[in-house]
Copies of this chain bind each other. A is one copy, B any other.
Amino acid sequence: MELWGKFLNLQADIRKINHAVALLVWDQQTYMPVGGTEARAESLGYLETLAHTKIVSKEASEILTALEYQSEDPEKGPLYRAAKRDYDHAVKISTKLVEEMAKTSARAMTAWQEAKAKEDFSLFENYLEKLVDLALQKADALGYSDEPYDALLDSFEPGMTTKDVEVIFTKLKEASVPLVKEIVAKQGEKPAIFAQDYGEKGQWDIGIKALHEMGFDIDCGRQDYSVHPFTISFDPQDVRITTKIDPRSFPGSLFSSMHEGGHALYEQGIPKEWRNLAIGSAASLATHESQSRLWENIVGHSRGYLSHLWPELQKTFPNQLNKVDFNTFYSAINWVEPSLIRVDADEVTYNLHIFLRFEIERELLNGKIKVSQLPEAWNEKVESYLGIKVPSPSLGVLQDIHWSQGSIGYFPTYALGNVMASQFYAKALKEQPSLSDSIAKGELLPLREWLRDKIHSQGASLLPMELVEAVTGESLNVTPYLEYLKNKYLG
């Protein structure tokens, strides 16, 4: 077979294994009975290792070396470079380490769920110690110049260093802390309209309506329940999201659906002809998060879209909302208030949750704190940044799934995603000023098309910072985000 054909076949084989890996993960978090944990861990470990072995195989190395001359070809170059990047990254990590990470995290996830349900950090502690140790091994294998965190961050956000994040986070922090104070001072008394029985079905239906309006293709995806909402793609034509619904309050699940839906639109928008190629992936996690948070916050929490949803909401929840006027509803939806759970945080205090995770992770990796000290460290930071006490581990250190998956160095991408989202949306509005009117009519497809054209359809052809430049003509900067917040909350 000719060389390029071999290259395509190898890429496809890797994708076919990863398809199964993704399903094993999805099922573990949605439907798998608890007894399945051990066999699942073994199967996941085996297949992740297999994919890794394929990526770094001698054959792959030979093919990539022989095709080096294609790397600047206008058509084949981007396909080649994305695959080469994956290879260069993967080849540094031993198969043994990949297998151990996969097995440990599969077991840790069940332990985390149990620890969270039982409010007992100690049930998760040993697993997390092992995962931190594995993360350090991974960082060593990948190499870094300043600190281990650099290596981990780079694997989620190619080209970005811990220092880069620190610079951006410092600017955000300097602006956020007084901004929160100013907004909170300006707010009156919080409308007590959400903490009541909203049931499950109506919330599910509203989420599905929003997903439909966003253009989420239900023939090429689905929504299920899980403890921690997530998006996972098996293929551009099979993209799954999950949500969780608290029947005793609104509107967590609507925005969870829009958030994951934003991720899903990205994955559904990746060209089908790239389904079996490394280039058929998102540019980075922050880029991914820019999409989810754009839909969740900039669209979902906007006066325009909410006013469009309002009649439907009043119809669905007559007992809860019929006596409420829209302005009260809007201000309650956009209420700014330090709170315990990151995924439920308003968009202004949200980044504070990220700063504290970033700092804790860094300290953990630099050996400044131990896993056993995490609950305490967490609670202190929450009190310092948010001014509130953490009543129990499930509302504190155990709230997020990420560490149980071995994802350390991941959290910063959320705040970077916020920054990126505003930058993208500002550009979209400049090019298509009618977008905000469309949104107010519930017509979300023009925005999806713009995002698909500029971002989704690019797959991993550009590095994230290249993508930001290509789409907005500027490098990543916090100005549009801070302007968006000020205009919305103080404007």
Contacts and interface: CB of A to CB of B under 8 A. Distances in A.
A45 B217 CA distance: 26
Contacts of A38: 235, 237
14 contacts: A12-B42, A16-B42, A19-B42, A31-B224, A32-B238, A33-B218, A33-B220, A33-B222, A35-B220, A39-B234, A39-B235, A39-B275, A40-B234, A43-B234
Contact of A238 (B39, B45, B237): B39
Given A31-B31, A36-B220, A36-B238, 12 more contacts: A13-B46, A16-B42, A16-B43, A16-B46, A19-B40, A23-B27, A31-B224, A33-B218, A33-B220, A36-B235, A39-B234, A39-B238
A236 to B, nearest CB: 8
Interface in A39-94: 39-40, 42-43, 45-47
Q: Copies of this chain, how many? A: 2
A20 interface: yes
A118 to B, nearest CB: 16
B27 A20 contact: no
A350 to B, nearest CB: 31
Interface in A238-278: 238, 275-276
A325 interface: no
A238 B23 contact: no
Interface of A: 12-13, 16-17, 19-21, 23-24, 27, 31-36, 38-40, 42-43, 45-47, 217-222, 224, 234-235, 237-238, 275-276
B46 A238 contact: no
Given A31-B222, A33-B219, A221-B33, A39 B23 contact: no
A39 B224 contact: no
B224 A35 contact: no
Name the residue among A16, A40, A224 with the largest chain B CB count within 10 angstroms. Answer: A16
Contacts of A20: 20-21, 23-24, 43, 47
Given A27-B27, A237-B39, A238-B39, A219 B16 contact: no
Contact of A35 (B24, B32, B46, B237): B237
B12 A238 contact: no
A28 to B, nearest CB: 10
Contact of A39 (B19, B27, B36): B19
Nearest to A47: B20
Contacts of A23: 20, 23-24, 27
Contacts of A43: 16-17, 19-20, 234
Contacts of A238: 32-33, 35-36, 39-40
A431 B131 CA distance: 53
B34 A219 contact: yes
A34 B238 CA distance: 8
Contacts of A275: 39
A187 B478 CA distance: 82
Contacts of A34: 219
A342 B103 CA distance: 43
A235 B13 CA distance: 25
A418 B369 CA distance: 65
A55 to B, nearest CB: 15
A47 B235 contact: no
Contacts of A222: 31, 33
A233 to B, nearest CB: 10
A240 to B, nearest CB: 8
A47 B13 CA distance: 10
Contacts of A33: 218-222, 237-238
Contacts of A224: 31
Name the residue among A34, A45, A234 with the largest chain B CB count within 10 angstroms. Answer: A234
Contacts of A32: 238
A9 to B, nearest CB: 11
A31 to B, nearest CB: 6
A43 to B, nearest CB: 4
Nearest to A32: B238
Contacts of A220: 33, 35-36
Contact of A219 (B35, B39, B46, B234): B35
Name the residue among A20, A21, A47 with the largest chain B CB count within 10 angstroms. Answer: A20
B16 A47 contact: yes
Nearest to A30: B31
